[in-house]
Structure 1
Amino acid sequence: MPWLTPGLEQDLNSLVPGGVHRNISLARVSRWRVGGTAPLVVAPGSVSELQRVMTYVSRHGLPYVVLGSSTNLLFADEGLEVLAIHIGARLGGFRIEGARVWSEAGIWVPAFARRLARAGLSGAEHTCGIPGTLGGLVCMNGGSQRKGIGDHVIDVTSVTAGGERRVRTREECGFRYRQSVFQGLGEIIVGARFRFSAADSPVLVRREMLAILGQRRRKFPRKMPNCGSVFVSNPAMYAQYGPPGAVIEQCGLKGMRVGGAMISPLHANFIVNHEAARATDILSLIGLARRIVRERTGYTMAAEVCYVSPAGEIVPAHIRAEALRLPSVDDSIPGVTPEPASGMGQ
């Protein structure tokens, strides 16, 4: 890695005191507990520190990747060969002014939802069980119950690859279901302003959040490492066959294993690290599920989770999965052979 020069760590430490770390295990960071090593990670503690880092990176032409909580990321088994810039708790400022909320991007989403509930504000209840940081939530227009955080955004602040600060209104953010303009801009979300509504009863807000968390505990696998929902819901497929988990289950894929990865027997839109899984195992299952669902229904599912290559490229995991040689059903564990569900034989 020619970019990893002896003076680089010293320079970054001068720009971000106390925020530079060497040889970080990505498997310890990943919710899937999968991935190699990041040779150098820098975690800015303010927007100005991030701007200085990006200016330095741009000036010296350093290869880099921006990471948040990594809850929806699958890291390569080989690890990273680029500088990692981490937006996390060190960039987690938060302020409430009436119904308006300002927050930096590194705040943990469940903590964000709890603070709003304690302040008597309603509108973020659906995010209370989503693991991740706010920057990622805004970038993906994330949420649950088919809701998105973008509905409450006033504006979003980001930093460009060259270190410039930008502010975009909600309209300029281009929010759609699980999408925003930030997914293709190459900018780093550092904060956002929101407008929520005063709750009729803070007690009812808390009850709704507890109900959502209880439902997630019952429906989703929690005892094995996983990255949450793997495939994004397609409205057309949903109307005809149901959500991804139900369709994958109807195709007979619950419990399917490749290597140490397994499609969860509890919820089929989750892939769990059953036993020392590798990234290639998970990608193979993504490709397998995608191919069989396409054969049975005519719909091609898109992955919600993303793959991070050693070069720092972040792409939807199904794109990487398509590039692999996928196992056939017969190559998977003995005795688990998907059968088409009634009415899904397109």
Structure 2
Amino acid sequence: MTARIAIASGGTGGHFYPTLAIARELQRRDAEVTLLVAGRHAAAQRALASAEGLAAIEVPSFRMPDGVLSALAFPWRAAAAVRAARREVRSLKPEVLLGMGSFAAVPACLAARREGVPLVLHEGNAWMGRANRAASRWARCAGLSLPLVEGCPVHCPTVTTGMPLRAALVEAARVGAWPEAFAAAAGLSRSRRTLLVFGGSQGARFINDLLRQTAPLLAALAERVQVLHLTGTDDNAALLEAYRAAGLTAWVRRSEADIQHAYLAADLVLCRGGASSLCELALFGKAAIVVPLPTAAEDHQTANARVLAARQAIRHWPQREASPAGLAEILHGWLADPGPYEAQARAIRALAMPDAATRMAALCLEHVPAARPGA
């Protein structure tokens, strides 16, 4: 008998794209899957789900109050969002609800509790987010992308499943071939070492400024190193000029839809500490300098970095310590003695879970009730 699974998601792409990977795997296992999407990106995410052949329903969400007026309205907004989610849960009659974290998923997770639907969670970070910590009080279990830091409060059993990633990334990492066409278009030479730089959706400005100020200190390395830099902005004139003046080969773009090519070309990565990025580094086995975004909620990026640094899998470089001179010193040291970075690459590769979507789908199906109407 076909299992009925609902997945509560929304928020950023870091929550939503793993949702799509799990949903596709559940469909492959003949489950009937419906996404309950919420938050400011819900309409776009519903359209993406539809393009993937997935049923998706937009449900209301609520945010934690940030002022007196929003605090006064919060109980009514929260209650209305839960009532709406509860109506959808009653209509769908899922046998398991999977909550993907963020406050966008909270109304559906509360609805599952009130309707007696088994709840499974997925947590991306090494410090469980507030929404999942609350829901863990009635969840059956939580799948983890990264091991939790010591002392993180969680109230349900956990199992490390990894971060479900896009199929294109998983396949590219499996094949592991040098991206000939991408490298030619980017002007890369295999005789140089390649540094990949990106700062994510919220933390790019500091990273961009750091590289712009570091570029003049790298002129002596121009024949040995080249840069792939995804800036998150179209305002790249000053950065491009800094690379040009230093004589560095640099491919600078706002973003790259097929980032697997950049990973395949990279020898070292400089990035923030978001869970998806770190799990992608593991998938491709790339050494990295990780500068956590200090303003991330509950400083969860630092927790992520500490978990991996404790396993000798990354270099954790707090933003307060990051400087152009320091980065230049690191890069000179990397070229002079790549051995420690090669060891980090092996260590992080050992943590990869390319079958994370399969693991999460299996975890959901484990909690489908044994006694099912019509079974």
Smaller-chain TM-score bracket: under 0.3
Bigger Rg, structure 1 or 2 = 2
Give me the TM-score of the superposition, normalised by structure 2: 0.26
Greater percentage in helix: 2
Which protein has the bigger strand share? 1
What is the TM-score of this pair, normalised by structure 1?
A: 0.27
